[in-house]
Chain A
Amino acid sequence: MERIPIVTLGESLFVTIQVDIDDRLATTLQDDLMERIVATGARGVLIDISSMEVVDSFMGRMFAGIASMSRILDAEVVVIGMRPVVAITLVELGLSMPGVRTALNVERGMALLDQALTARLNSVGVDGELADGDDAPG
């Protein structure tokens, strides 16, 4: 069955969503991503939606879902490359995607991931030590 490929980019995972993603593919992506996060211990996920001409409420909920689930798995998600017409339409639709960070491109997206992860680190305990610090991929 067709799947959306997930690529490793340093300590992060990188996904490019093509134009025609149907519901089945979207749900499969969600599952695959969670598995990969656990399997690789990735701390960040970049989702490139620059090819998406339409983002409807289903996809919006999916992104929000991916963000929440990833956070539970100790990873941050950044969606990059949203097209202006898509952004305007989403706002008009009244769809808010709570917990979904966005950035203009890959470079900004990586910088944002860095920031988000640093913020997380700084907010963890006085000694700043993470329970799984030794397991973090280097």
Chain B
Amino acid sequence: MATTPPAKASGHPPNMYPIACDDDVVQFRHRVREAAIAAGLRLIDQTKLVTAASELARNALEHGGGGLGEVCSPETVGRAGVRLIVEDDGPGIPDIALAMTDGVSGVSGGGALGMGLPGTRRLVDSFEVWSEVGVGTCVTVEKWAL
């Protein structure tokens, strides 16, 4: 696992957070929680969003070799809610369609590809995944206050 310290002062825009180590995942969850509260999300929706953020951040760390997480405020999203963009420069997902199918028993987060994307998708209101083999992966999710 990479041991580079979080690049907090390396010129990232204020709402973009490095995901390079364990602690970064925890910090990212905190930022997401703050944004969710600020956007007026109910507790259950806050929890779902923060859980989704944790899943995505862990994926970026474990499968993507580290990455970046961006938290977008309601103004940028255009409605009361939060948008998260988690991206990495990892190997990419060869078969996105396959990654988006549930395991046989409906259990994700440990399924064949270990990425738990279908489960994460159920936690949010809008879900987009972009990936290119050899380039990286970018997952964009939104949770609305409605």
Residues of A within 8 A of B (CB): 20, 22-24, 53-58, 60-61, 85-86, 88-89, 92-96
Contacts and interface: CB of A to CB of B under 8 A. Distances in A.
Given A93-B123, A94-B118, A95-B119, A54 B47 contact: yes
Given A85-B43, A88-B44, 18 more contacts: A22-B22, A53-B50, A54-B47, A54-B50, A54-B51, A56-B51, A56-B58, A57-B55, A58-B54, A60-B109, A61-B110, A89-B48, A89-B51, A93-B108, A93-B120, A94-B119, A95-B107, A95-B110
Contacts, number: 73
Interface in B1-50: 22-23, 25-26, 29, 33, 43-44, 47-48, 50
B79 interface: no
Nearest to A60: B109
Interface of B: 22-23, 25-26, 29, 33, 43-44, 47-48, 50-51, 54-55, 58, 102, 105-110, 116, 118-120, 122-123
A58 B62 CA distance: 11
A57 B117 CA distance: 11
Contacts of B106: 94
Contacts of A20: 26
Contacts of A61: 109-110
A86 B48 CA distance: 8
B22 A85 contact: no
Contact of B22 (A23, A92, A93): A23
A93 B119 contact: yes
